[in-house]
Chain A
């Protein structure tokens, strides 16, 4: 079943067109990797899926993006409810300058998910456990989240995102600021999270795409060149451009 269907998506930054007629289906409970050279529009496409492009004044998005068969690009779509369903992890870990506990309790609090203090405590612990961070921080959850290491901060951000149980998690190069060990931990985590969430990950590393994803889409110069199962894209691409990029001839 397709969780997300994008049809004829065009994105403009002012007069410059960043995405050209993107059509892409994303399967539920799978990891979909978006690869391609810098500036190809993969992050822009990712941000179309939770309407984070709204934040950028000059950015105009057209086309249809359906999540659970509902078009999120309608005028009266409530972006707050959309983003409750579609969480996002950023390139650079961006915990709030608050305690670890407050970082995670923020989402459930503004969406009124926890009814009591003990329920909130449970959500915090569960989220941290799922993000494989609980054992490392359980003795200092009331200390600032910004005091953690880079890898821990990124897992904290993941814990924060899953605290409100989004159906989809968007990851924008989540490991680009991390060392190989932290990267391995996050990749392991992504595979675990796939059971409950649909994951779309933008990555620069083709090996990472090959390791974590089931499906892959290849972007180039604002166009979606090819999309299919990761196996097929890496072993047997139909497009010459994909072949060239995969084999490292450009990009």
Chain B
């Protein structure tokens, strides 16, 4: 082979190599795109909520209230809005049979009593008048309206009956079906009814878990890393510890869940299903990640800085606290955020410590039962109702948003606070 041929071959090899690299990146991006498209296309409708605007006659007789007296808040609270609601629904189709009345009722979320009551409480002037009130549509109609439900399959395989669809279409023609931003998705706790289910409980659960996790894992990991890196003698024992920390980072997360179940719940008797226990369990998982990141950042601080401080007569602790740790902090923090992002997306250990329970209240403290965002995804994905499909995707979107946000934060800290020596 002459020189010219070898040159051409070398160029070709290099081109080929670069092409493989580009192809690999393209593949990765393609997967990401498919994944995101799927999530967004199924999930975006969850941010819309369907309402039925129906005429409501706040007639005193129907509410068994005194027509001549303006009702007080207490009167309204005591009134029976269930019967009143049924009467209102009948007014949509005065000829409805007994069965059809039940179908009419099922067109609305079961919260119709509350919604009717709160409307009156907020608008006392409406008493005795007929007004238009916005009621949450049932998840079946919500899905029909969003086009997620095929209408052309036989009635017995459909959740919305022909009768319901007839009434619904009539309302729609009159412009009485409206779609608005679904604020309750963010403010409601979980619910058995898809149209009412929200992420507030699992969001707060995740937030509390992460805070507990951070407040335990960060200081412990930083102290451990600083001691191992700056003070501990290098001997077999510290080698042994190092190997174990690395092993700990590779332990499947479900094992930490078992540990939380066996030790935190069984031995220490901490309350089940709480972010406190979840956070402690997650901190065990995050600990090795932060220790490894912190040690790497401490190692990256040039020894000349330590020598400079020591030669100035700084003690070892002063050298560490004044120079080494501040210089290693950006790296440690970005490692911490990445560890926390992992913990935020963790499901298995939380399921084991009972954070998978159905929680329909919003937790106010880390001691209250709660779910977490990834567990919420799991719970909803298990639900049979069609309305939860979009919720799953929407919840994934919220989780992804926070993960991206945290990773960007880590990146930013790395770039902004990275000190350049020499």
Q: Which residues of A contact B (CB under 8 A)?
A: 50, 52, 55, 57, 80-84, 87-88, 90, 92-97, 106-107, 110-111, 146, 157, 160-161, 164
Given contacts A94-B305, A96-B305, contact A146 B421 (CB under 8 A): yes
A91 nearest CB neighbor, chain B only: B304
Given contacts A97-B420, A110-B318, contact A90 B308 (CB under 8 A): yes
Q: Say whether A52 contacts B310, CB under 8 Å.
A: yes
Q: Say whether A97 contacts B419, CB under 8 Å.
A: yes
Given contacts A81-B313, A146-B421, list 7 more A-B pairs with CB under 8 A. A55-B307, A57-B234, A90-B311, A94-B302, A96-B308, A106-B309, A110-B312
Residue B233 at the chain A interface, CB threshold 8 Å: yes
Contacts of B311 in A (CB 8 A): 50, 52, 83, 87-88, 90, 161
**Which of A55, A97, A164 is in CB contact (< 8 Å) with B310?**
A55
A164 to B309, CA, bound (A): 13
Contacts of A111 in B (CB 8 A): 313
**Which of A84, A93, A95, A146 is in CB contact (< 8 Å) with B313?**
A84
B235 nearest CB neighbor, chain A only: A57
Residue B106 at the chain A interface, CB threshold 8 Å: no
Q: Say whether A94 contacts B315, CB under 8 Å.
A: no
Residue B422 at the chain A interface, CB threshold 8 Å: yes
Residue B323 at the chain A interface, CB threshold 8 Å: yes
**Which of A55, A93, A97, A106 is in CB contact (< 8 Å) with B312?**
A106
- Can you sample 9 A-B contacts with CB below 8 Å? A55-B306, A87-B312, A90-B307, A94-B302, A94-B307, A96-B305, A110-B313, A146-B421, A157-B308
CB distance from A102 to the nearest CB of B (A): 10
Residue B341 at the chain A interface, CB threshold 8 Å: no
A107 to B114, CA, bound (A): 70
CB distance from B173 to the nearest CB of A (A): 71
CB distance from A122 to the nearest CB of B (A): 19
Contacts of A92 in B (CB 8 A): 304, 422
Q: Say whether A164 contacts B305, CB under 8 Å.
A: no
CB distance from B258 to the nearest CB of A (A): 39
Contacts of B420 in A (CB 8 A): 97, 146
Q: Say whether B234 contacts A106, CB under 8 Å.
A: no
Contacts of B304 in A (CB 8 A): 90, 92, 94
Total count of chain B residues near the partner, CB < 8 A: 23
Using an 8 Å CB-CB cutoff, how does the interface string of B294-324 with A read, 1 for contact, 0 for none?
Answer: 0000000010111111111111001000110
- The interface centre, meaning the residue of A50, A80, A84, A96 with most chain B CB atoms within 10 A of its CB, is A96
- The interface centre, meaning the residue of B305, B315, B422 with most chain A CB atoms within 10 A of its CB, is B422
CB distance from A174 to the nearest CB of B (A): 13
CB distance from B118 to the nearest CB of A (A): 60
CB distance from A93 to the nearest CB of B (A): 8
Residue B327 at the chain A interface, CB threshold 8 Å: yes
Given contacts A90-B304, A146-B421, contact A96 B313 (CB under 8 A): no
A93 nearest CB neighbor, chain B only: B422
B301 nearest CB neighbor, chain A only: A97
A146 to B419, CA, bound (A): 10
Q: Which residues of B contact A (CB under 8 A)?
A: 233-234, 302, 304-315, 318, 322-323, 327, 419-422
A32 to B422, CA, bound (A): 29
- The interface centre, meaning the residue of A84, A107, A110 with most chain B CB atoms within 10 A of its CB, is A110
A55 to B419, CA, bound (A): 24
A80 to B311, CA, bound (A): 9
Closest 7 pairs (CB-CB, A-B) = A94-B304, A88-B311, A83-B313, A84-B313, A97-B419, A94-B308, A107-B312
Contacts of B422 in A (CB 8 A): 92-93, 146
CB distance from B124 to the nearest CB of A (A): 65
A90 to B421, CA, bound (A): 15
A94 to B312, CA, bound (A): 12
CB distance from A202 to the nearest CB of B (A): 14
Q: Say whether B314 contacts A97, CB under 8 Å.
A: no
A146 to B304, CA, bound (A): 13
Contacts of B322 in A (CB 8 A): 106, 110
- The interface centre, meaning the residue of A50, A55, A81, A111 with most chain B CB atoms within 10 A of its CB, is A55
A170 to B201, CA, bound (A): 64
- The interface centre, meaning the residue of A80, A146, A157 with most chain B CB atoms within 10 A of its CB, is A80
A177 nearest CB neighbor, chain B only: B422
Contacts of A80 in B (CB 8 A): 313-315
Q: Say whether A52 contacts B307, CB under 8 Å.
A: yes
- The interface centre, meaning the residue of B310, B313, B327, B419 with most chain A CB atoms within 10 A of its CB, is B313
Contacts of A81 in B (CB 8 A): 313
Contacts of B308 in A (CB 8 A): 90, 94-96, 157, 160
A81 to B314, CA, bound (A): 9
Contacts of A55 in B (CB 8 A): 306-307, 310
A97 to B318, CA, bound (A): 16
A87 to B311, CA, bound (A): 6
CB distance from A67 to the nearest CB of B (A): 14
Q: Say whether B233 contacts A97, CB under 8 Å.
A: no
A146 to B302, CA, bound (A): 14
A107 nearest CB neighbor, chain B only: B312
A106 to B302, CA, bound (A): 18
**Which of B302, B312, B315, B327 is in CB contact (< 8 Å) with A160?**
B312
CB distance from A12 to the nearest CB of B (A): 17
CB distance from A82 to the nearest CB of B (A): 8
Q: Say whether B313 contacts A97, CB under 8 Å.
A: no
A146 to B418, CA, bound (A): 14
Contacts of A88 in B (CB 8 A): 307, 311
A19 to B403, CA, bound (A): 57
Contacts of B307 in A (CB 8 A): 52, 55, 88, 90, 94
CB distance from B325 to the nearest CB of A (A): 13
Contacts of B314 in A (CB 8 A): 80, 106, 110
B421 nearest CB neighbor, chain A only: A97
CB distance from B115 to the nearest CB of A (A): 61
A50 to B311, CA, bound (A): 8
A120 to B387, CA, bound (A): 70
Contacts of A161 in B (CB 8 A): 311-312
- The interface centre, meaning the residue of B234, B309, B327 with most chain A CB atoms within 10 A of its CB, is B309
